[in-house]
A and B are shown apart, each in its own frame.
Chain A
Amino acid sequence: MRGGQTHRRLIRNILSSSTLARHYHHLPTMAEATLATDVPWYAGYPEVRSSPATITRSDLLNMIEAGKKPGVDYILIDLRRTDHEVSNACKKARQYADKCTSDREERYRVRSIFLLRACTLPYQHCMPRSELPGFPRSSGTAVSTLTKVSKEGSMLIGYFQALLEVEGHVLQHGSQTIWTTVMRIKC
């Protein structure tokens, strides 16, 4: 009887423990779980909420060649499915979510959005190094760029809301290809 309780306690501790501990106990990541079953990778993500407008690469190229400045007129963010599994990204997400709001529920919402979408390439060791001008190198850079553009806190929230819209589009297509989002900042 006591052994059963100990086992349940161990399982409960593992499930509530850090990513590192989960790795130690060989619990699967989302990516591993997806590979192990036939469940589509996007099954664990929220439902589609919106369908943002699109832009062709030739239009974007024209925008760049017309002298539009990255980080001022636009920001390019590359969204990849496994970014939220990078431990440092999780840490940054917590930090920025805490800055966003003191409301606990809102903080969790912002954090989860951040984890799913705000991390950009190349995040430390896991991503190719090629990039377009204007790509923030990390989620932190993306947010700090936005903060420089507008010191209003609402801009930060707007950033997350925009990312939420983008997620809807990604899910709608259900593709494993790499997506890029162009975020225009209207000052």
Chain B
Amino acid sequence: MESIVLLEGIKGWATAGDEYNAKMQEYDAGIWKD
């Protein structure tokens, strides 16, 4: 098993645009706003 850190984390993913948001389940844009 290998562990790898996702750069900029899930928050980076959730705020990176539709291409990434589309892969999230139950995505709610409001949650990820600062």
| Bound-complex Cα distance A64 to B26 (A) | 17
| Bound-complex Cα distance A121 to B12 (A) | 16
Whether A57 and B3, one on each chain, are in contact in the complex, defined by CB atoms closer than 8 angstroms, is: no
How many chain A residues touch the partner (CB < 8 A)?
37
| Bound-complex Cα distance A73 to B15 (A) | 25
B12 cross-chain contacts in A, Cβ below 8 A: 57
Whether A130 and B32, one on each chain, are in contact in the complex, defined by CB atoms closer than 8 angstroms, is: yes
B9 cross-chain contacts in A, Cβ below 8 A: 78, 177-180
A47 cross-chain contacts in B, Cβ below 8 A: none
| Bound-complex Cα distance A57 to B22 (A) | 13
Is A4 on the interface with B (CB-CB < 8 A)?
no
Whether B23 and A54, one on each chain, are in contact in the complex, defined by CB atoms closer than 8 angstroms, is: no
What 16 new A-B contacts, CB under 8 Å, besides A52-B3, A52-B5? A53-B2, A54-B5, A57-B7, A57-B12, A57-B16, A57-B20, A60-B13, A61-B23, A64-B23, A130-B26, A132-B24, A166-B3, A166-B5, A177-B9, A180-B9, A183-B4
Residues of A at under 8 Å CB distance from B? Answer: 52-57, 60-61, 64, 76, 78, 121, 128-133, 155, 158-159, 162-163, 165-166, 169-170, 177-186
